[in-house]
Structure 1
Amino acid sequence: MVLFKKFLAIFTAAVMLICMTAVTAFADDEEIYTEPPVLMLAGKNELSLNSGTSTMVNFRFAVKNTVKFGHGDFVLTSGSSDVIIEQPEFSIDDIKSNVSYIIKISKTAPSSTVNLTLSSVAYSADGKSSNSQSFTVKLKIVSQLTARGLTIDSYKVSKDEVRPGDKFDITVTLKNNIGIDIKNAELELEGLNSEKFVLDKGATKQYVNIEKDGIGRITYSLIAQKGITLVRETVNLKLSYSLDPSKTDLSSSTSTMIIINCNPEEKKESSYTAYDITMTNYTVSSDKVAENTKFDLAVTLKNNSSYNIDKARVSLTTDGTKFSIDSGLGFSDFSIDKGASKKFTFKLVGCAGIAAERETIPVKIEYGSVSNTVYATVMCVPKKESDDKTKRELVVTSYSSNVDIVAENTVFSLSVNVHNKSDHSIKDARITLNNLDGTKFAIDGGVAYEDFDIDSGASKSFTFRLVGCGGIASIREVIPIQLDYEKVSNTTNATVRCLPKDTDKDGQKVFAPNIIIENYTYGDAEYVTAGKDFPLNITLKNVSSSSTIENLKVTVNGAPLATGNDASVAYSPANSSNTFFFESLAPMSTANLSMKMLSLATASPNSYPLNISFVYEYSINNQHYKADNVQETISIPLRQEDRVSINDPEIPAYGVVVGQQFTLSTSIINKGKSDIYNVNVSVGGDGFTADSSSYYIGNIKSGTEEYYDVKLTPSASGSSNGSLTITYEDANGDAKEVDLPFTFTAEEFMIDPYMNDFGGGMVEEPMVEEGPNIWLILGISAGAVIVIIIVIVVIVKHIKKKKSEIVDDEDL
């Protein structure tokens, strides 16, 4: 009876609520004709269009306040000259219709984001009131123009060798790498000197039109003059162009150096030589140079000639990347008497680009027609990679030359391997070889740069054909390799073994014979294993064609890495001496040394150096000399042995029941000397479900154990098979995978229906309480509600009809 009373109270309240709703709906119906609608833009408010496209774009609106809609006017505008909008005057009566515009993006539009403004005026149903709104739509423009633009693809000099008075042509080939036509591209020949080269005809500036993906050629006619002093002279080509043919501003430009092979007139006896002025010493005032460290570089020069030299200059080549002039000038002009020495001091400051513990500063010495560059080494504190905003994501991993020794007129190839360490593809990168000005090295053919794209984790190789020049002054010269990408520029120096020109002075040869490491091996594998010994075999060679090396002592020492905080030495002799002695080594002959080395068990995987030091003597023209100490460095890759142990999965001993969770456990032990990385465990199989199919553990340190538990629920009785799959990366960066199978048997859970939960006695049937017939009550209530709703609808329609008749009478 109590339940019946509660139901009647709820039923009465529901009837009252329905009546109030009907009256409110009728009252609100009067306002839908006079209230202006509030619009909302349906769908996304962002667009993405490519440059050079024309697209129909539809916008769809909805009424936010649900009132009756009259009509609307719409206008779309843009503040960018690269965006053209074709729009009729829109006025729509049905808000469900699309508002459409044609949007055109110019071909030369750069990648950018432009705000479009969509203005609307929405009118009420009776047309007497309106609501003005505006909506912002972001338009992302994706430029289809490539960043490489118009480039100097190649050049050709009509004569293999140019002499004073010769007429010759330089033909330049341009390549259009952009997806549009280029008009009035300007090519200017710079650096002409009346003492060396003059135009035979034409102008230094020439213009050309090149269709998209096409090529164009321009030819300059020149005459060589008597001022040619080098076997390879240079002129510069500057290419300028505009991506927009309607603009006269040539906003894009690039430059290329042209190498001209020459045969200068024979020098007089009084002419300067490359070794008249040399750098005999330099000092750095700071032991360690970091970013913002101020220091002095003092350079001592000596005049080795038999005459005074005027109008000489010494200068430092600093571009602000690694070092910069702090105060004063980066050069000094001077005169120097024969046999005299002079000291020059430059004030410098370290910059953010310092990337190695040993950086070099080029010191350029110029006098007469001679230009020599030597290098001062500065000990530095590089930035930690995590703090460096210009992190080296594109790096030079290795380089090699196809010849052992480079002398004047030696043609050789320099191969460079580049690797993308980043997690994304890099486009429009450029590799450039610098300092190929014909002094020490020059391009033998083609250009000194190459543009390229490279995927994440990929490597690429580049080969440049070079030639040694007369300015080679050291047994080791460097060629800077510059990588430019994504507003980042970094430089790696490639060291080239060289044979300097012998210079006669008082009838004696001043250069000692050179010794090099011709070859070395460290066993049959591509690497050595940490904590193991390995055989080291080294082949030495005397590359002199005339001098014998005497009393040669060779010392082999392990060395720490040149970069990073790891100061450990990875390699040391194993039960043998690290010093070897050779009584003599004849010209162009070789000698072998062998020893057993031991690698450090705790060393991280890397390529570790060995320093090979040479001390020797030699005789020239019956005079006995002691050579300067020479040190060569070789690198041997080291890897850690993988010692990961995984315990068998553990299943509960008390048994497994269908439908009830149980825990499967295992553990992973890293017994190796290095950490393992990105450890992940996944579970799979038949006859069960897992609360988590995969779990990422992360890194496991050396000598530690990590545990893994997963909850499984059997779905069928009987035997079920599954496996745990463990994946990780070892210290060498290699991906590893281990599968651990497991089996369990699940049983059905049996329940006795005649026993209670406590196992004592029969289950009692519940008593059913007599009461009113609920289904009868519900039927009667539903019928009453339906009758009330019908009455309310009839009343509302009758009132609306009366109101409509009143409006019609007013119109009459």
Structure 2
Amino acid sequence: VKNVMSLAPGASMPMTFTFAGTNQASSQNYAIQFTVEYTSGGTKVNTFKQYAGVNISNPKKDKEEEGEDDKNKSKPKIIVSKYVCDPLIVMAGEEFDLNLSLMNTHKDKGVKNIKMFLTLAEETSSETEKSGNIFTPVNSSNTYYFDAIPPKGTVDKELRLYVVPNAQPKTYTLTVNFEYEDAEGNEYTAQELLGINVEQVTELNMDEFAMPETVEQYMPVTVSFSYYNTGKVALNNVMFKVEGDVDCSQRSTYVGNMDPGASDYYEVTFTPNTIGEVPVSIVATYEDASGETIEQRRDYVLNVTEPMMPEGEEDGAEPPQNGLTMKNIIIGIGVIVILGMGLFLFIRGQKKDPDGFAESMDFDDEDEELEDDDEDDDDKEGMPL
């Protein structure tokens, strides 16, 4: 077990392991599994497995298996001493190179008339697809022929294979079968197992959606769209989030897992805070079958302007700071005039009738008394002296 505290994006770290074959190991190629466990952007543990082929030679064990110590009676054996996949992780629906090194482990006997063919050692997840249908040779048959391999000799073979598009993501065990003869014409068979990592392409498609180029500050913006899993494998831990200098009541929306062919709808509303060019991004993240996190982004730049002024404050006119307007001034002058007239009449009434003016402000009665006085004067003018 080796521990690595952190690994930066794009960085690599060499690992060295030392093994020793036990005395019970036969002379053949052994597939050693390396398991990597790691976390990325959270606490969930992701796991990745890769195989490496190791050739072990143990003549003593070989003689025990043959039941004969005479070296002339032991049989020659062909193994895959080394194999390399290019690329290391094979994508479904694509081609890859498989480079093999074949070795005759016998130190005295050569082999000839060598036939090699490939088979898949397990069924696929689909009931209709039988073993052997995952990998298909490109521009070649599934059978390869070699004239001879001398004692302790090797021969290299490069294969070009194609992975069917609907292959499920996992490590497949590819069986390499051998049929060959020794110098005396004795026929032998052998099998070697190879681990091939296959990964399925994941696809999350989002509909196009409109984002306004210009928006007022503090004006809510709503975006909505449908999204689909158009790949052939499930998408795990699907999540949408909003990034940028905006207010958003729900920045992250967790969807969960999406089966192939599934679809859903997403809607979010946010409000820009600052004026000017404001970058805003709608980000979708999910995990593929191998646990790798994949991110899809839609990046935009909003042109945020100042809020519109209320009616009557256009043309850049600033609202009065003290609250005084010409209308308010006129109303105030009118009130002062009315109060002044009332005060004047009150003082005048106090001088004429101090006792009754305060109790009655009936100007009609005063007018009637004046009219009566005028009539009395007229009567007096008509009477004889």
CA deviation after TM superposition for structure 1 residue 695, in Å: 0.5
User: Which residue of the partner structure matches residue 576 of structure 1?
Assistant: 140
User: Which residue of the partner structure matches residue 81 of structure 2?
Assistant: 518
Aligned with 2:171 (options 600, 607, 612) = 607
The answer to whether the Cα contact below 8 Å between 2:47 and 2:291 also exists between their aligned partners in 1 is no
CA deviation after TM superposition for structure 1 residue 576, in Å: 0.6
Give runs of aligned pairs for residues 294-309 of structure 1, distance below 5 A: none
5+ long unaligned stretches in structure 2 = 1-16, 50-55, 313-385
The answer to whether the Cα contact below 8 Å between 1:559 and 1:570 also exists between their aligned partners in 2 is no
Matched position secondary structure for 1:545? coil
User: Which residue of the partner structure matches residue 243 of structure 2?
Assistant: 684
Inter-CA distance 746–702: structure 2 relative to 1 (3 Å threshold): farther
Inter-CA distance 570–543: structure 2 relative to 1 (3 Å threshold): same
Aligned with 1:725 (options 277, 283, 291) = 283
In structure 2, C-alpha distance between the alignment counterparts of 1:522 and 1:710, rounded to whole Å: 45
Inter-CA distance 402–529: structure 2 relative to 1 (3 Å threshold): farther
Inter-CA distance 590–746: structure 2 relative to 1 (3 Å threshold): same
CA deviation after TM superposition for structure 1 residue 459, in Å: 9.5
User: Which residue of the partner structure matches residue 547 of structure 1?
Assistant: 109
The answer to whether the Cα contact below 8 Å between 1:407 and 1:501 also exists between their aligned partners in 2 is no
User: Which residue of the partner structure matches residue 211 of structure 2?
Assistant: 651
After superposition, give the CA deviation of every residue in 1:66-97 in whole Å (9 maximum; x if it has no partner).
xxxxxxxxxxxxxxxxxxxxxxxxxxxxxxxx
The answer to whether the Cα contact below 8 Å between 1:679 and 1:728 also exists between their aligned partners in 2 is yes
The answer to whether the Cα contact below 8 Å between 2:99 and 2:157 also exists between their aligned partners in 1 is yes
Give runs of aligned pairs for residues 419-498 of structure 1, distance below 5 A: 472=61
CA deviation after TM superposition for structure 1 residue 543, in Å: 0.5
Aligned with 1:557 (options 97, 119, 123) = 119
CA deviation after TM superposition for structure 1 residue 752, in Å: 5.2
Matched position secondary structure for 1:651? coil
After superposition, give the CA deviation of every residue in 1:546-603 in whole Å (9 maximum; x if it has no partner).
2222322111234436899886642111221111223332211112333321111121
In structure 1, C-alpha distance between the alignment counterparts of 2:120 and 2:264, rounded to whole Å: 36
In structure 2, C-alpha distance between the alignment counterparts of 1:556 and 1:735, rounded to whole Å: 34
Is the aligned partner of 1:638 residue 2:202? no
* Identical residues among aligned pairs (%): 25
In structure 2, C-alpha distance between the alignment counterparts of 1:675 and 1:603, rounded to whole Å: 13
CA deviation after TM superposition for structure 1 residue 529, in Å: 2.1
Q: CA RMSD in A?
A: 4.4
Give runs of aligned pairs for residues 747-762 of structure 1, distance below 5 A: 748=307
Q: Which of the two has greater strand per residue? A: 1
Give runs of aligned pairs for residues 162-311 of structure 1, distance below 5 A: none
CA deviation after TM superposition for structure 1 residue 604, in Å: 2.4
In structure 2, C-alpha distance between the alignment counterparts of 1:601 and 1:531, rounded to whole Å: 4
The answer to whether the Cα contact below 8 Å between 2:92 and 2:200 also exists between their aligned partners in 1 is yes
After superposition, give the CA deviation of every residue in 1:479-532 in whole Å (9 maximum; x if it has no partner).
xxxxxxxxxxxxxxxxxxxx6465448x78543211101122333x32222211
The answer to whether the Cα contact below 8 Å between 1:647 and 1:668 also exists between their aligned partners in 2 is yes
Give runs of aligned pairs for residues 370-381 of structure 1, distance below 5 A: none
After superposition, give the CA deviation of every residue in 1:426-455 in whole Å (9 maximum; x if it has no partner).
xxxxxxxxxxxxxxxxxxxxxxxxxxxxx9
Is the aligned partner of 1:626 residue 2:190? no
Matched position secondary structure for 2:291? coil
Inter-CA distance 414–577: structure 2 relative to 1 (3 Å threshold): closer
In structure 2, C-alpha distance between the alignment counterparts of 1:409 and 1:634, rounded to whole Å: 17
The answer to whether the Cα contact below 8 Å between 1:530 and 1:641 also exists between their aligned partners in 2 is yes
Give runs of aligned pairs for residues 763-778 of structure 1, distance below 5 A: none
The answer to whether the Cα contact below 8 Å between 2:208 and 2:225 also exists between their aligned partners in 1 is yes
User: Which residue of the partner structure matches residue 128 of structure 1?
Assistant: none
User: Which residue of the partner structure matches residue 162 of structure 2?
Assistant: 598
Q: Which structure is higher in RCO with an 8 Å CA cutoff and minimum separation 6?
A: 2
User: Which residue of the partner structure matches residue 530 of structure 1?
Assistant: 92
In structure 2, C-alpha distance between the alignment counterparts of 1:409 and 1:625, rounded to whole Å: 21
The residue identity in structure 1 corresponding to 2:102 is L
The answer to whether the Cα contact below 8 Å between 2:68 and 2:74 also exists between their aligned partners in 1 is no
User: Which residue of the partner structure matches residue 674 of structure 1?
Assistant: 233
Aligned with 1:585 (options 149, 152, 168) = 149
The answer to whether the Cα contact below 8 Å between 2:90 and 2:96 also exists between their aligned partners in 1 is yes
The answer to whether the Cα contact below 8 Å between 1:605 and 1:638 also exists between their aligned partners in 2 is yes
The answer to whether the Cα contact below 8 Å between 1:530 and 1:638 also exists between their aligned partners in 2 is yes
In structure 2, C-alpha distance between the alignment counterparts of 1:458 and 1:731, rounded to whole Å: 10
Inter-CA distance 662–537: structure 2 relative to 1 (3 Å threshold): closer
The answer to whether the Cα contact below 8 Å between 1:522 and 1:536 also exists between their aligned partners in 2 is yes
Matched position secondary structure for 2:82? strand
Matched position secondary structure for 1:733? coil
In structure 1, C-alpha distance between the alignment counterparts of 2:26 and 2:137, rounded to whole Å: 41
User: Which residue of the partner structure matches residue 665 of structure 1?
Assistant: 224
The answer to whether the Cα contact below 8 Å between 1:714 and 1:746 also exists between their aligned partners in 2 is no
After superposition, give the CA deviation of every residue in 1:753-811 in whole Å (9 maximum; x if it has no partner).
9xxxxxxxxxxxxxxxxxxxxxxxxxxxxxxxxxxxxxxxxxxxxxxxxxxxxxxxxxx
The residue identity in structure 2 corresponding to 1:723 is S
Aligned with 1:740 (options 289, 298, 301) = 298
CA deviation after TM superposition for structure 1 residue 542, in Å: 0.8
The residue identity in structure 2 corresponding to 1:514 is K
CA deviation after TM superposition for structure 1 residue 718, in Å: 6.5
CA deviation after TM superposition for structure 1 residue 418, in Å: 5.7
Matched position secondary structure for 1:522? strand
The answer to whether the Cα contact below 8 Å between 1:551 and 1:582 also exists between their aligned partners in 2 is yes
In structure 2, C-alpha distance between the alignment counterparts of 1:676 and 1:459, rounded to whole Å: 17
Inter-CA distance 516–674: structure 2 relative to 1 (3 Å threshold): same
CA deviation after TM superposition for structure 1 residue 716, in Å: 6.6
Matched position secondary structure for 1:650? coil
Inter-CA distance 501–674: structure 2 relative to 1 (3 Å threshold): closer
In structure 1, C-alpha distance between the alignment counterparts of 2:20 and 2:186, rounded to whole Å: 32
The answer to whether the Cα contact below 8 Å between 1:534 and 1:596 also exists between their aligned partners in 2 is yes
In structure 1, C-alpha distance between the alignment counterparts of 2:74 and 2:171, rounded to whole Å: 33
In structure 2, C-alpha distance between the alignment counterparts of 1:705 and 1:563, rounded to whole Å: 24
The answer to whether the Cα contact below 8 Å between 2:31 and 2:193 also exists between their aligned partners in 1 is no
In structure 2, C-alpha distance between the alignment counterparts of 1:409 and 1:730, rounded to whole Å: 39
The residue identity in structure 1 corresponding to 2:240 is V
The residue identity in structure 2 corresponding to 1:729 is E
After superposition, give the CA deviation of every residue in 1:259-291 in whole Å (9 maximum; x if it has no partner).
xxxxxxxxxxxxxxxxxxxxxxxxxxxxxxxxx
In structure 2, C-alpha distance between the alignment counterparts of 1:599 and 1:716, rounded to whole Å: 52
The answer to whether the Cα contact below 8 Å between 2:47 and 2:290 also exists between their aligned partners in 1 is no
Q: Which of the two has greater helix per residue? A: 2
The residue identity in structure 1 corresponding to 2:139 is N
In structure 2, C-alpha distance between the alignment counterparts of 1:577 and 1:500, rounded to whole Å: 37
In structure 1, C-alpha distance between the alignment counterparts of 2:25 and 2:211, rounded to whole Å: 76
Aligned residues: 281
CA deviation after TM superposition for structure 1 residue 684, in Å: 3.2
Inter-CA distance 681–544: structure 2 relative to 1 (3 Å threshold): same
Inter-CA distance 416–726: structure 2 relative to 1 (3 Å threshold): closer
User: Which residue of the partner structure matches residue 339 of structure 1?
Assistant: none
The answer to whether the Cα contact below 8 Å between 2:38 and 2:45 also exists between their aligned partners in 1 is yes
Inter-CA distance 457–682: structure 2 relative to 1 (3 Å threshold): closer
The answer to whether the Cα contact below 8 Å between 2:125 and 2:168 also exists between their aligned partners in 1 is no
Alignment TM-score, normalising by the size of structure 1: 0.30
